[in-house]
Amino acid sequence: MNIQIAHTQKEIIACYAVMVELRPHLSQDDFLALVERMHNNHGYDLVYLDDNGIKAVAGIRIAEWLYTGKYLEIDDLITTAAARSQGYGAMLFDWVADYARENHCVQLRLVSGVQRIDAHRFYENKGMKFEAKYFSLNL
């Protein structure tokens, strides 16, 4: 088993088959272009867990807020449906948390849709707490 950041187009494209389960509106070409643009403009990286094939993928970025200081944001976290409940998501989450610590982040955070009850249970079991409401306005 191996967990690493996707650096090449080949690695990014390999992550698509898993990520599309969470983001089905994206074509492979759009996914690749978006990941590359987000990486260049916002420091977004894809992290993947490979265990005889990619089982889980996370999109992450490090940023800072006046409120809390440096933090790592998990934008996306998905384990492929065929590999759920086998510990892959937990292993990837733990790797991301360690990566945040190594990069001197003071907090790990994420936004999760209100309908994702199972995901919320997972995050709470990993020690995360519900601390804010997220608001949006479509423009």
Domain positions in the chain = 2-125
Model confidence at 113, in pLDDT bands (50, 70, 90)? low
Report residue 95 as tokens: 């790797």
How many CA within 13 A on the CB side of residue 137? 1
pLDDT at 112: 66
pLDDT confidence of residue 23: 93
2-125 — its CATH code?
3.40.630.30
Q: Which of 91-95, 107-111, 126-130 is least confident?
A: 126-130
pTM reported for the whole predicted model:
0.85
96, two tokens: 């991301």
Residues whose CB falls within 8 Å of the CB of residue 15, separated by 6 or more in sequence, listed in order: 6, 46, 48, 54, 57
Considering the chain, what is the average pLDDT of its residues? 90
8 A C-beta contact, residue 108 and residue 99: no
